[in-house]
Amino acid sequence: MRARKVLVFPAGTEIGLEINESLRQCKEVEVFGAGIAGSNHAPFAFENFYELPSLYDSDWLTALVNLCSKLEIDYIFPAHDDALVKLASNRINIPAVVLTSSVETCLLTRSKRKTYNKFVNVLRVPKVFLPPFSSLEYPVFVKPDSGQGSQGATLVRSAEELNIATQQLTDPVICEYLPGEEYTVDCFSDRRQGLLFAGARVRKRMRNGIAVNTMPVFLEDAQNIATKIHNELKMQGTWFFQLKRTFDGELALLEIAPRIAGSMSVHRSIGVNFPLLSIFEEEKTLVRIMINQNEVELDRALQNRYKHSIKYNTMYIDLDETLVIREKVNVDAINLVFQCLNRGIKVKLLTRHSGNLTLTLKKFRLESLFDEIIHLGAGELKSEHIKDANSIFIDDSFSERLEVSQKLGILTFDCSMIEGLIR
């Protein structure tokens, strides 16, 4: 069977980036990203990226349909909460399978007010306050009914602050303040087998509503809560919900979302590839989940990715303190070496190593990597052995790089610059 063609839209969100990381190395899948033009991280992260209008433009659906037809897309992952509703609502018009739950579930879970009303007699949910607010006991929490990423969410400590907070939102929800620890429970449901996975993780540190430090934990009653949500909403594929402890330690439901979460990667690292499972579930493949029983903690920070105009046919690279630093192989340099080999770029070792070069290369398992090994003698200049004008040179020594740059005019890099060459 050919690889399934999977489109992630909009691709530049944290959700989209996690889907890409989950699938890009899977033999079963070819991943495509789509999103708006302009400042957008997706073109740096996705090998195949296409520009589409914003979800909020009138022609977004026509453009999406045309792209799906052109690329013969099999599946689409919505990578934003608004995309869930819009893609689910337009399933019949899109020539690809939209991987999420029913449109009714997407609409309900998009609204915190509807979610709380649905589950008020099933689970502990935050108390929602209605006007008049003269008897409110502060603090309370104000948030948009259909917000995401903590946008517009405010802890309010007085009537004056409440007035300001509600004026800034189109459809505010005023609810009780929950002071306790916050959790996400990542879930996977199979339409035939039921709820197959419900893994809780504590949200230890957050930025813009995203858990940037999280780790799996045993959370009593998480499985029971997940089962109740699954049964009420007939969930399918990947979804998650968030809980927070009340003043008296109860777990209260904050929200439900029938989509991938950015920090689901912590569970992926121990064996649960949610996007791939969602594809198999849609195909009615009998799936099983195998989990590595080890402790893991995820901490997320900004990641650098680069686009550049450098084109070269040959890479010359040094050995000592470049490929091998402090008696250890430089894994970033090895990454670049194999990237070059995969792209048909020649890799030549250019070294003035003072020891037995053959034994050193064998010691570090490097002996078969190179198209050519050039071992310089005393007094020889490296520039004299660089014959391909369309090449780059990597060396830890500034004086070596300067000599090559001045003599040949080619681009030179030290070890700290390798990051910018890795795709």
Question: Amino acid identity of 326?
Answer: R
Of 51-65, 294-308, 316-330, give the lowest mean pLDDT range. Answer: 294-308
Helix (H, G, I), strand (E, B) or coil at 170: coil
* Residue range 172-177: mean pLDDT, rounded: 92
Backbone angles phi, psi at 75, to 5 degrees: -135, 150
* 335 plus 397 within the same structural domain: yes
* Residue 47: both structure tokens together: 């090998």
On the question of pLDDT at 405 being above 80, the answer is: yes
* Residue range 399-421: mean pLDDT, rounded: 93
On the question of pLDDT at 357 being above 80, the answer is: yes
Is 356 part of a structural domain of the chain? Answer: yes
Q: How far apart are CA 65 and CA 321, in angstroms?
A: 52
On the question of pLDDT at 50 being above 80, the answer is: yes
CA atoms 151, 189, 116, 118: torsion sign: positive
DSSP 353: -
Is 106 part of a structural domain of the chain? Answer: no
CB 358 within 8 A of CB 368: no
Contacts of 301 (CB under 8 A, 6+ apart): 212
Is 305 part of a structural domain of the chain? Answer: no
CB 329 within 8 A of CB 355: no
- Give percent of the chain above pLDDT 90: 83
In this predicted structure, what is the pLDDT of residue 237? 96
* 171 plus 254 within the same structural domain: no
In this predicted structure, what is the pLDDT of residue 171? 87
Residue 179 preceded by cis peptide, ω within 30 = no
Burial class of 196 by CB neighbour count within 10 A (0 to 12, 13 to 18, 19+): middle
* 331 plus 411 within the same structural domain: yes
* Residue range 112-138: mean pLDDT, rounded: 91
Q: For all residues of the chain together, what is the average pLDDT?
A: 93
Is 244 part of a structural domain of the chain? Answer: yes
pLDDT digits (tens, 9 = 90+) for 58-71: 999 999 999 999 99
* 11 plus 89 within the same structural domain: yes
In this predicted structure, what is the pLDDT of residue 218? 94
Final residue before a domain boundary, out of 176, 191, 217:
176
Backbone angles phi, psi at 116, to 5 degrees: -65, -40
In this predicted structure, what is the pLDDT of residue 149? 64
DSSP string, 268-318: HTTT--HHHHHHHHHTT-------------EE-------------SEEEE-
For position 267, which CATH number holds? Answer: 3.30.470.20
* 202 plus 148 within the same structural domain: no
For position 319, which CATH number holds? Answer: 3.40.50.1000
* 188 plus 163 within the same structural domain: no
* Residue 242: both structure tokens together: 């968030």
**Band of pLDDT at residue 150, cut at 50, 70 and 90:** low
* 333 plus 284 within the same structural domain: no
On the question of pLDDT at 2 being above 90, the answer is: no
Is 88 part of a structural domain of the chain? Answer: yes
On the question of pLDDT at 244 being above 90, the answer is: yes
* 66 plus 142 within the same structural domain: no
Q: How far apart are CA 156 and CA 285, in angstroms?
A: 48
Strands 182-190 vs 237-245: parallel, antiparallel or unpaired: antiparallel
Please list, residue by residue across 244-262, b when 16 or more beta carbons sit within 10 angstroms of its beta carbon and e when fewer do: bebeeeebbbbbbbbbbbb
* 70 plus 92 within the same structural domain: yes
Helix (H, G, I), strand (E, B) or coil at 329: strand
Spatial CA neighbour of 222 closest among 249, 235, 241, 237: 241
Final residue before a domain boundary, out of 84, 99, 114:
99
On the question of pLDDT at 12 being above 80, the answer is: yes
Q: Which domain holds residue 387?
A: 314-421
* 187 plus 147 within the same structural domain: no
**Band of pLDDT at residue 1, cut at 50, 70 and 90:** low
Is 105 part of a structural domain of the chain? Answer: no
* Residue 54: both structure tokens together: 């914003």
Higher-confidence residue of 314 and 379: namely 314
* 236 plus 319 within the same structural domain: no
On the question of pLDDT at 163 being above 70, the answer is: yes
**Band of pLDDT at residue 135, cut at 50, 70 and 90:** confident
On the question of pLDDT at 117 being above 70, the answer is: yes
In this predicted structure, what is the pLDDT of residue 302? 83
Is 122 part of a structural domain of the chain? Answer: no
The position carrying tokens 């920070």 is 301
pLDDT digits (tens, 9 = 90+) for 100-110: 999 999 999 99
How far is the CA of 90 from the CAs of 65, 94, 104, 257, in angstroms? 10, 7, 12, 18
Backbone angles phi, psi at 420, to 5 degrees: -70, -15
Is 309 part of a structural domain of the chain? Answer: no
In this predicted structure, what is the pLDDT of residue 37? 86
Final residue before a domain boundary, out of 292, 326, 361:
292
Q: How far apart are CA 282 and CA 237, in angstroms?
A: 8
Domain count, the chain: 4
* 278 plus 327 within the same structural domain: no
* Residue range 91-102: mean pLDDT, rounded: 97
**Band of pLDDT at residue 43, cut at 50, 70 and 90:** very high
The position carrying tokens 């060396």 is 395
